Each structure stands twice: as C-alpha cells, then as structure tokens.
Amino acid sequence: MRGRGRFDRRGFLKRGAALGCSLAASPLATPIALAAAPGDKRLVVIVLRGAMDGLDVVRPVGDPAYAALRPTLAQGEAPLPLDDFFALHPALGGLYPLWAAGELGFAHAVSTPYRDKRSHFDGQDILETGGAGSARRDGWLNRALGLIGATSLRTGFAIGRESLLILNGEVPVSQWAPDTPLTLTAQSRRLLRKMYGEAPLFRASMEEALALTADETGSAPGSGESRGDVQQAMMASVRAASGKARIMAGGAGMEKIARFAAEQLLGETRIASFSITGWDTHARQKQGLGRALRGLQTAILTLKRELGSAWRDTAVLAMTEFGRTARENGSGGTDHGTGGVLLMAGGAIAGGQVYGQWPGLGELELYQGRDLMPTADIRAYAGTALSALFALSAGDVGQKVFSGVDIAGTPRIIA
C-alpha cells in the first residue's frame, strides 16, 4: 500500500503526464539494443517516441480536404513530390535521393490495434510488444529472434534506462547507451530522494549517482520539501527530460547512435533497435517536427554511409505509437491521433512507393471525426519484412511473433 506523501515510479510518471505530456514521449536517455542472428540480412527498427505526425511527414496534397484542415502547417517551404498525390516534408530532403533509388518508401494510414485513449505509455507498449494489449512484457523483435536463431550475445550496458521493451524477452541481447551528461537540477535531486530515499534497496545506488552529478545551483539538497516543492520538481524533470531528448534527436547524438549500430551490424549483429524522441508536437510543430525529422534523417544517412556495401542487405523500419489529429490545433501543432505512417529505408527495401489504401480526409472519412482512419496494421508490414528477410513462415510471424496478424495480403516491402 502506498502511504500519503510516498512516491513510486509509476505514480511519478502518471503525475508527469498530467503536467504536460508523458515522459514516455521524451525519455532522458536513448539506449540502443542489439542482437545477433545468422545470415546476411539486417533489420534496424527505430521507435519514434511521441507520436510522429504522418500527415505532415508524407503529405496527402492531392486530397482536397488536406489544405483546409491544415491552413498553417500546409504553408511554408514546398514539400518534395513523391507521386501525383503525396509529397515529402522538406526537412527530409536529404533522403530524397534514396526515394529515386528505390531505397526509401512509406506505408500510410497504418496503426497498431490501439485505439481511443491515445496514451504514449500504452501506445508504445503495444507497438513494442506487438500484442493487442499491454499485458505482454516481451517484445516482438525478441520473439522473432527466437525463431531466427540468435547465435551470440554482445556484451554491453545501459545507463539510466530500462532495456528496450521491443527486444526484451527470453533470447538474451546486449545493450548500450550513448554518453549522456550526468547533470541534475536541485529540484530533480530532491525528487529522487523523495522517490527512493526510503527504499533500502535503492538508497545506496541513488546516493552514489547523486554524488556523481553536479548540482546546478550549488546548494545542498533540502530534506523538508512540501508537496508543492515535489510537484515543481516533477515539472522541472519533465522539462529537463524533454530538452535533453530533443538534443539527442537533432544533434550529434543521433549520428553517434547510428554509427555505433552500423559498426555492430558489420559484425555479428543482424538486428538493432533504438529510439528517437521529440515527436510530440502539440505546439509549434513546424519547428519541433523539422528538428526531429533532421535527427531521423541523420540516423538513416549515417547507417547508409557506415554500412557501405552491407546497406544493400539492410532494411530500416521507423515506427511510431500512433499518428496525430487531421486538424491542426490553435497552438500551431496537432494532438494525439490514430492513423500514422511507417517509414522504411535501406537497400533491401522495395522503395519508391507509398503503400497502403488511402481512406480520405473528408468529415465522414475520419476516424471519430478527428483522426486519419487506419486501413492497415503496422504489425503486418513489420511481419512481412521479418518473413522476407529471415525466411520466417507467415504462420510463425502471425502467431508467434505477433498476435493473430495475417500478413498474407500485405504488400511485399522487401525487394
């Protein structure tokens, strides 16, 4: 039982969500998980945390309702034409040559089975577990490894983060986290003491971690904080996590992560997964989305450059927990939605296409009158990629990797 004034991790995260948006949309550190498998094919799954706006990334400019739904977001620098209906966000201009080479593609109007509540935590759980509910705690990539036959474990470590759920499970994998400046504000230090100071199991580790950090104010942490003080500390932690995540997504951090992934993929590793944050664009979406897209572009181009000839045997899938509303809001952004877009890249991809059945953006065509209507299961696209890359049967993919997913009618996205 939780006593009055006690703080556990789950309670902290729920309070953080109430203060702005959930910490799941912008975790403090971004680890990369790696696993080895036989064969020459390689798969990289990038989890885009925070719900990327697929309608802005791959714009349905040929839909007559699009411009009216987005009078502000549709303006500005011209997007890059993909075909006579869709256009690419200009921030991904560096990937445009990949489109021409057939090494970049998209699947539009896709989603997991998750509906209606639009919670980052729940949406990401379902995206990473691959199930229709959040009860499973093993990831679909780990289950796939069990069928592929993982051959070795690369040792590694993660700092300050749980292992990625998408690769959690019975098959052992290694984990690595990029260097992250270990600094905490005075409020964050007080919050950690409130959360873990009374727990004997965690107290020593917490004190050691705090000793390694620099108090930005130079003041000693207090011991008599009020509930309001802790609430302020939570807000500061949310802002700090979001700010650090944006730096990771848009700066040299992404290149470092992708370069490390490529280095491992040139060895025994055949499957890698990491996350990019900064996609929760409730306000000022033009700035925020552009920054996040440039981070994603950096990751993909770094993988292509560093993998060299192995790029031709590589597929990259960039997936997000759900899309965003069809209408822009009054803050120059969009809110949590349903249907979104899957980005795929790599020499193994049958690119140069926007896959999927377009549902339309008319009032009666939107899901619940507000979101892009999903017309395909994003898991089916991931499943057909697994099947083609690693010679898994459709039955094993649909029942053992995912939960009742039929990949038979899904377009073949692997060349």
For 309-363, the pLDDT digits (tens) are 999 999 999 999 999 999 999 999 999 999 999 999 999 999 999 999 999 999 9
Alpha helices in 308-372 (DSSP H): none
pTM: 0.79
**Cβ(100)–Cβ(342) under 8 Å?**
no
Q: How many other C-beta atoms can be found within 10 angstroms of the C-beta atom of residue 187?
A: 23
Give the pLDDT of residue 184.
Answer: 56
Give the pLDDT of residue 73.
Answer: 95
**Which DSSP helix (H) or strand (E) runs through 273?**
strand 269-276
Residue 42's beta-bridge partner residues? Answer: 314
Q: What is the pLDDT of residues 170-189, one digit of tens each?
A: 888 777 766 644 455 566 66
Is 170 within a domain?
yes
Choice among 14-18, 43-47, 359-363 with the minimum mean pLDDT: 14-18
Structural domain containing residue 93: 28-181+245-401
Q: What is the pLDDT of residues 64-81, one digit of tens each?
A: 999 999 999 998 899 999
CA distance 57 to 92: 8
Contacts (Cβ under 8 Å, ≥6 apart) of 337: 51, 118, 322, 323, 324, 325, 326, 367, 370, 371, 372
Is 194 within a domain?
no
181: left (phi over 0), alpha (psi -120 to 50) or beta: beta
Is 118 within a domain?
yes
- Examine the pLDDT at 133 and tell me if it is beyond 70: no
| Mean pLDDT computed over 147-151 | 77
Is 326 within a domain?
yes
Comparing 165 with 311, the larger pLDDT belongs to 311
Residue 324's beta-bridge partner residues? Answer: 336
Q: How many domains does the chain have?
A: 1
Give the pLDDT of residue 151.
Answer: 62
How far separated are the first and last CA of the chain, in Å rounded? Answer: 55
* Range among 1-15, 101-115, 220-234, 252-266 with highest mean pLDDT value: 101-115
The mean pLDDT value of the chain amounts to 80
Is 99 within a domain?
yes
State the CATH number of the domain containing residue 377. Answer: 3.40.720
Give the pLDDT of residue 206.
Answer: 61
